[in-house]
Amino acid sequence: MITAEIPDMDVDPDGYNVVKNYMMHGPCGDLNPGCPCMKQGKCSKHFLKKFNNQTTFDEFDAHINVELCNYSISVKYLFKYVNKGSDRATIGIECLDTTTERDEIKRYLDCRYISATETCWRIFKFDIHHREPAIERLPFHLQGENTIVFQEERCPESILNRPDIVKTKFTEWFEANKEYEDARDLTYSDFPTRWVWDARGKRCIGRKKGKSIGRIHFAHPASGERFYMRMLLNFVKGSTSFESIRTINGVRYDTYKEACYALGLLEDDKEWNDCLAEAACWASGNELRNLFVTILIHCQVSDSSKLWRSNYEILLEDITSLQ
């Protein structure tokens, strides 16, 4: 329950003084149009607030700002704030018993400060974070463009001669579709719901317990064929090769973009709307603006004004909440 009021000075003088000294705003609005909080004729702090019947105080005198968390911007802010990492402090160690000159840079240590609350939480081994269900990132690549990770001191020839060098999570999805009939009913993003990737053996095995949701790596609209391949992966099922991804109704197309047209995915600006809506779930405000401008400049947008209107609310909400 959220409550707020000005306490009676005779009944609760301490509470009255706290509100008077720390929690009064204004006057603003029509009573004081020149108040610093006034923007375009309205209070930027959204005062006046609705009145309630009662309020509560503890022993700590301070400004307290309490709002009901009932919309997405508040949820995103709270999630980011409590998960932004441990507090850190920079401290200096000095010796007053000597006149020897010391290197100022070396005297400072970058230390980690753990509050009493976090200390207790870790001592009792409570979970620091939890995600349900598990999210599995699904990489993909064009033919012959898979990423290879190796240690710097390794000889390039020994890396290239490995028999499993071309095996990736993406290509093994092809192999699973070839071998198992029930795997062909799933798109690439749905594949982790019933199959598990064995990183050591580089193969896919049937899921026996738990559940997971797949999320395909993001592809920038300016990445060309890679962007259109990703679009197809959200719809095609049972692909057994790179060519089969761009095979629609028995017709094999030369490019993934042509296959997208054949599947009806590029008839209007839907792909750009979907791209912006997906990026709004994780991108920062600056990244969203850059993405929007990139789409306008480098992509074939049929109606830029309509694209802006359809995505204005998404962009405005997420840019405001993420910055």
Q: Which CA distances in Å does 303 have to 264, 268, 307? A: 18, 9, 6
pLDDT of amino acid 87: 59
Please tell me the distance from the alpha carbon of residue 292 to that of residue 311, in angstroms, as a whole number: 10
pLDDT of amino acid 270: 76
Residue with the bigger pLDDT between 302 and 160: it is 160
Identify the sign of the CA torsion 258, 262, 268, 271: negative
pLDDT of amino acid 178: 94
Q: Judge whether residue 314 has pLDDT over 60.
A: no
Q: Judge whether residue 188 has pLDDT over 50.
A: yes
Mean pLDDT of 95-102: 68
Length, in residues, of the chain: 323
Residues in CB range of 14: below 8 A, 6 or more apart: 57
Q: Judge whether residue 171 has pLDDT over 60.
A: yes
Q: Judge whether residue 319 has pLDDT over 70.
A: no
Tell me the pTM. 0.55
Please tell me the distance from the alpha carbon of residue 157 to that of residue 143, in angstroms, as a whole number: 21
Cβ 202 vs Cβ 126: under 8 Å: no
pLDDT band at 79 (very low <50, low <70, confident <90, very high): low
Q: Judge whether residue 315 has pLDDT over 60.
A: no
Q: Judge whether residue 257 has pLDDT over 50.
A: yes
Cβ 203 vs Cβ 174: under 8 Å: no
Q: What pairing do the DSSP bridges indicate for beta strands 38-39 and 108-112? A: unpaired
Residue with the bigger pLDDT between 35 and 240: it is 240
Q: Please report which residue ranges of the chain form alpha helices under DSSP H.
A: 13-22, 72-82, 104-107, 116-123, 156-160, 169-179, 225-233, 242-245, 256-262, 270-279, 285-298, 304-322
Residues in CB range of 303: below 8 A, 6 or more apart: 269
Please tell me the distance from the alpha carbon of residue 47 to that of residue 36, in angstroms, as a whole number: 13
Q: What pairing do the DSSP bridges indicate for beta strands 134-138 and 212-216? A: parallel
Query: How big is the CA angle at 235 (ends 208 and 239), to the nearest 5 degrees?
Result: 65
pLDDT of amino acid 189: 92
- Which two three-digit tokens encode residue 287? 């990244």
Mean pLDDT of 144-164: 82
Please tell me the distance from the alpha carbon of residue 265 to that of residue 283, in angstroms, as a whole number: 24
